Amino acid sequence: MAPQYAPSMRSRLAPLLLFLQMGFILVYFFYVDIERHSDRKKIFIYYYSEFQDVHVMVVLGCGFLATFLVRYSFSGAGFTLLVAAMAVQWAVILNGVESLYHRGKIWINMRSLLVAELCTASSLIAIGAVLGKTNPVHLLLIALVEVSGFVLNGWILQTFLQVRFLNTIMLLHIFGAFFGLTLTRVYRRAFEQQHEKEKIDRKTGLFSLMGTLFLWMFWPSLNSVLLGLDHPDFERSLSAIYSTYLALAVSAVTAAGFSVLTSPQGKLNLFHIQRCTLAGGVAIGVAMPAVHLPWVAMIIGFAAALTSTLGSRYIKPLMLFTFDCHDTCGVLSVHGLPGVMGWMVHLLLQISESKDLTMAARFAAFHICTLLITVSLSMILGVITGFLLKWNILRPPQDKNCFDDQAFWEFPHLAVKK
């Protein structure tokens, strides 16, 4: 309730939102149209419910996963909605540039909206690393840059390395995580000590767990829906559903097991249950093209949860104290490491399957280049964005205003005593 240390956002946020929005409407006026008379209408309707699952994951799942901070829960969910609403419009434009060049129009259909949601998911992962330390103007800029970078990365990989589109899109976890990680390192030194407001309470923990459950339940849709839209025989789509389902089940059990095993008190850690249970979905999403057997999916789920739990327990503090890199939502251990692990499994499986050594070497070379380009591009853009955010004109919040809704939200009717 102290307006003095919460500088008005009127002169920054409102113009940014409204000018960007009017700009988008102008672009849509000239270049974008709804696809009609498509021969895929039936497929689009079949997959609408899976599209909705992904929509729920992005808006509600990511949004409520970010409510865990006790004094920052409105911002967590509210800014996610805001960023998603903006980033989706931007991603539709960027993904349509090629179609605009060749066919004169950007077409909106179920698939283009879905791809836009996935790009948005990538930017929300990046935002997880700086959650609570930024203002909404920052978050919008991050989202716009990250989505642009991610689309550019996909275009580079498709054009120069002939990577298939479906494989580039699943790099969203890796791209988002490394972008966020360098961003948070450059943008802001870690706090001297645990920030007094970076706390959870029982109720925000439950809201966050609700976000987790929606992500966990609907992840099979995330990994299968694009396959389904592009391969209308349903077989690959169903296979992706079953594999992801199994990987997530194993992932939840494993994360709990290692959480207890590595705990000094021998107890479950809420953070691990909220996030590391999802690692299986990340890893199998990246490795999907090479996964054909249920036990492989389960091994991936096991390894991903192991990586993620150990990462959260040991690498997260290491990053904080050694590299001065404060990662609010632990995106490195939840998206980065499991993503890279999935990439490695894909490599190993593909090599072990190929009968021809030259083919295997060729695949390995391309596959390694894919990762290198993705990681490099994401880190370079993360650094640039980090410096951009330090810019004083954007008014980065002071330390004492971090992790606090008060800086951004009016609370006129708030009951005084909780």
Shorter beta-carbon distance to its own copies: residue 37 or 358 = 37
Q: Is residue 235 within the footprint of its own copies (CB under 8 A)?
A: yes
> Quick check: 171 and 153 in contact, CB under 8 A?
yes
Beta carbons within 8 Å of 414's beta carbon, 6+ residues apart: none
Is 200 among the residues that bind its own copies (CB under 8 A)? yes
Q: How far is the CB of 303 from its own copies (least distance, A)?
A: 11
- Indicate whether 59 belongs to the interface with its own copies (CB under 8 A): yes
Report which of 214, 228, 94 is spatially closest to residue 151, judged by C-alpha positions.
94
| Residue 39, CA atoms < 13 Å, CB-side half-sphere | 2
Closer of 75 and 378 to its own copies (Cβ):
75
Q: Identify whether the C-beta of residue 303 lies closer than 8 Å to the C-beta of residue 278.
A: no
398 binds its own copies (CB under 8 A): no
DSSP-derived letter for residue 189 is P
User: Whose Cβ is closer to its own copies: residue 4's or residue 322's?
Assistant: 4
- Taking the C-alpha atoms of residue 120 and residue 24, their distance in angstroms, rounded to an integer, is 16
Strand partners, 34: 108
Q: What is the DSSP letter of 397?
A: P
Among positions 193, 233, 322, 355, the unique one binding its own copies when judged by CB under 8 A? 233
Q: Is 219 in the site for its own copies (CB under 8 A)?
A: no
Nearest residue to 55 (alpha-carbon basis) of 80, 78, 21, 76: 80
Q: Is 226 in the site for its own copies (CB under 8 A)?
A: no
Instruction: Give the shortest CB-236-to-its own copies separation in angstroms.
Output: 10
CA distance 301 to 310: 14
Residues 302 to 341 in contact with its own copies, rule: CB under 8 A: 302
Please name which of 77, 200, 178, 131 lies closest in space to residue 397, comparing C-alpha atoms.
Answer: 131
Least distance between its own copies and beta carbon 371 (Å): 27
Query: Alpha-carbon distance 232 to 56, whole Å?
Result: 23
Q: Which of residues 253-312 bind its own copies (CB under 8 A)?
A: 253-254, 256-258, 260-261, 263, 265-270, 273, 277, 292-295, 298-299, 302
Q: Smallest distance from the beta carbon of 227 to its own copies, in angstroms?
A: 11
Alpha carbon distances (Å) from 271 to 164, 250, 328, 334: 35, 18, 11, 10
Residue selected from 143, 248, 278, 283 as contacting its own copies according to rule CB under 8 A = 248
Q: For the segment 88-127, give every residue that binds its own copies (CB under 8 A).
A: 88-89, 108-110, 113
Q: CA of 46: how far to CAs of 10, 43, 407, 414, in Å?
A: 44, 5, 44, 44
- Residue 161 touching its own copies (CB under 8 A): no
- Binds its own copies (CB under 8 A): choice among 2, 49, 321, 368: 49
Is 2 a residue that touches its own copies (CB under 8 A)? no
- Count of residues in contact with its own copies, rule CB under 8 A: 125
Least distance in angstroms from the C-beta of 370 to its own copies: 26
* Of the residues 239, 308, 309, 328, which one makes contact with its own copies according to CB under 8 A: 239
Contacts of 115 (CB under 8 A, 6+ apart): 91, 95, 169, 226
Which range touches its own copies (CB under 8 A), out of 123-131, 162-170, 205-213, 351-359?
205-213
- The least CB distance from residue 276 to its own copies, in Å, is 12
User: What residues are paired with 363 via a beta bridge?
Assistant: none
299/238 Cα distance (integer angstroms)? 19
Give, as ranges, the residues between 3 and 42 that touch its own copies (CB under 8 A): 3, 6-11, 13-14, 17-18, 20-22, 24-25, 28-29, 32-34, 36-37, 41-42
- Least spacing, CB of residue 274 vs its own copies, in Å: 9
